[in-house]
Amino acid sequence: MPQLDPTFFGTQLFWLAVSFIVLYLLMSRLAIPRIGGVLKQREDKIQGDLETAQRLKEETKSVIAAYEKALADARGEAQALARQTSDAANAESAQRQQEVSDRIARELAEAEKRIAAARSEAMANVRVMAAEVAQSAFARLTGSPADAGRVKVAVDAALKGGS
Amino acid sequence: MAGPLEQFKIKPLIELPSIGGIDISYTNSALWMTIAVVVVMLFLMLGTRQRALVPGRWQSMAEMTYEFVNNMLTDQAGSGGKPFFPFVFTLFMFILAGNLLGMVPYSFTFTSHIIVTFGLAFVVFIGVTIIGFIRHGAHFLSFFVPKGVPAVMLILLVPIEILSYLIRPVSLSIRLFANMMAGHTMLKVFAGFVVGLGVLGGWAPLALNVVLTGFEILVALLQTYVFAVLTCIYLNDALHMEH
């Protein structure tokens, strides 16, 4: 078995040491830093991207919150405004109504007053006419002129009882 | 036709003067170690030359081997094993390249030589022992004293513990060497049958050789992993002194 021949033990160990040390130096100086650097770089990149995504997500969240807050504020404001407007409108219409009903009441009172005046005037006319009719009817029936004063009293009494 | 063990023969390629009585001629074994160093560096450096954020296939493979060894080390030895990652990664890549280059026809498998695997295992053994003593001082010797055992039993158990510790580099090196050698010898034996049985009968051992080649690649990967994982476990013992 050539493996057990000690003739070449020395050279094999020597060249094993040389090649292994050379490989170790090359690996530790060149290959390992490079591959390790590439892996580190990738890890950093992924980590950075994840962090950016997280930050953007939080930013989005805060923007949405701000938007919703603005929306709620605007809605509240709009409601307040609407309420205010409707209150004002209600007040105005109530006032208008009041004015209108006042005017109607005033006009009604005036009209009643006019009606009453017209009525009393008419009644006065009726009295005079009734007295004249009664006088002339008395004269026609009796042939003698009626006493104007007694006729007037009688007419008044009759009108009072009739009314 | 060459015998099955012919492939393990060391052939000096460049004669060099010996240093301190040790012959350091550049042999086919040294040549394939050099090729392994070059191949490993080309694989890792060319694959990652673009440093792409989204890796291509080659860069993925380089990164995967890196992360595979890194995870193995962290799983076995915890974060305390981090400083030894360059060594473990170098060891892993060196053995992996040696095993896989050995599958190339007409190549030489330097990991099929006990002296090479023993050299690697011995470095691991000595390194781990030194780390243990640096970390824990003389307290590291308590590693050989099992806890919760009656004092009488210790007379028997401590020598066993010490022996099992000392046998580590031997078992580590023989496991790799024997696996590589056995597989390659078997391939060669069946290849000899192909020639011996000729065109008529040679197909059966040829088919078997195809299967064995696939199996051998599996063994090459597996034994690399076993060697590296045991190194990590020994390292963990030295760092944390846990049984």
Residue of B nearest to A21 (CA): B90
pLDDT band at A85 (very low <50, low <70, confident <90, very high): very high
**Which residues are CB-neighbours of B23 under 8 A, at least 6 positions away?**
A7, A8, A10, A11, B16
Contact (CB, 8 A) for B12 and B25 = yes
Q: Using CB atoms, pick whichever of B8, B44, B52 lies closest to residue A3.
A: B8
Residues B23, A7: C-beta atoms closer than 8 Å: yes
Integer Cα distance of A109 and A102 in angstroms:
10
Assigned domain for A21 exists: yes
Q: Using CB atoms, pick whichever of A3, A12, A35 lies closest to residue B62.
A: A35
pLDDT band at A3 (very low <50, low <70, confident <90, very high): confident
DSSP string, A21-71: HHHHHHIIIIIHHHHHHHHHHHHHHHHHHHHHHHHHHHHHHHHHHHHHHHH
Assigned domain for B10 exists: no
Task: Report the first-to-last Cα separation within chain B, whole angstroms.
Answer: 51
Integer Cα distance of A140 and B50 in angstroms:
149
Residues A19, B94: C-beta atoms closer than 8 Å: yes
Hey, what are A19's tokens? 């090649």
The alpha-carbon gap from A51 to the nearest alpha carbon of chain B, in Å, equals 18
Assigned domain for B3 exists: no
Domain count, chain A: 1
Residues B66, A36: C-beta atoms closer than 8 Å: yes
Assigned domain for B106 exists: yes
* Chain B residues touching A35 at Cβ < 8 A: 44, 48, 62-63, 66
Residues A23, B94: C-beta atoms closer than 8 Å: yes
Residue B12 φ/ψ, nearest 5 degrees: -65, 130
pLDDT band at B76 (very low <50, low <70, confident <90, very high): very high
Assigned domain for A117 exists: yes
The alpha-carbon gap from B152 to the nearest alpha carbon of chain A, in Å, equals 42
Assigned domain for A26 exists: yes
Q: Which domain holds residue B219?
A: 24-48+56-240
Scan for tokens 């962090």, then name that residue: A51
pLDDT band at B1 (very low <50, low <70, confident <90, very high): low
At A113 the pLDDT is: 94
Element (H, E) at A112: helix A32-142
Q: Using CB atoms, pick whichever of A12, A35, A41 lies closest to residue B115.
A: A12
Hey, what are B193's tokens? 């049958």
* Chain A residues touching B179 at Cβ < 8 A: none
pLDDT band at B126 (very low <50, low <70, confident <90, very high): very high
Of B88-102, B134-148, B171-185, B216-230, least confident by mean pLDDT is B134-148
Q: Give the mean pLDDT of A80-108.
A: 95
Assigned domain for B86 exists: yes
Domain count, chain B: 1
**Residue B74 CB neighbours (<10 A):** 15
Assigned domain for B18 exists: no
Residues A8, B114: C-beta atoms closer than 8 Å: no
**Residue B20 CB neighbours (<10 A):** 6
Q: Which domain holds residue A157?
A: 12-162
Integer Cα distance of B63 and B43 in angstroms:
11
At B51 the pLDDT is: 85
Q: Give the mean pLDDT of B173-181.
A: 95
Of A19-33, B16-30, B93-107, B173-187, least confident by mean pLDDT is B16-30
Residues B90, A9: C-beta atoms closer than 8 Å: no
Query: How does the average pLDDT of chain B come out, rounded?
Result: 91
* Chain A residues touching B63 at Cβ < 8 A: 35, 38-39
In angstroms, the Cα distances linking B62 to B48, B93, B186 are: 7, 11, 32
Q: Give the mean pLDDT of A144-161.
A: 78
Contact (CB, 8 A) for A77 and A85 = no
At B243 the pLDDT is: 53
Assigned domain for A88 exists: yes
Residue B104 φ/ψ, nearest 5 degrees: -75, 130
Position A161 pLDDT exceeds 80: no
Radius of gyration of chain A from its Cα atoms, rounded to whole angstroms: 62
Assigned domain for A4 exists: no
Assigned domain for A6 exists: no
Q: Give the mean pLDDT of B155-160.
A: 90
Q: Using CB atoms, pick whichever of A3, A15, A35 lies closest to residue B48.
A: A35
At B61 the pLDDT is: 94
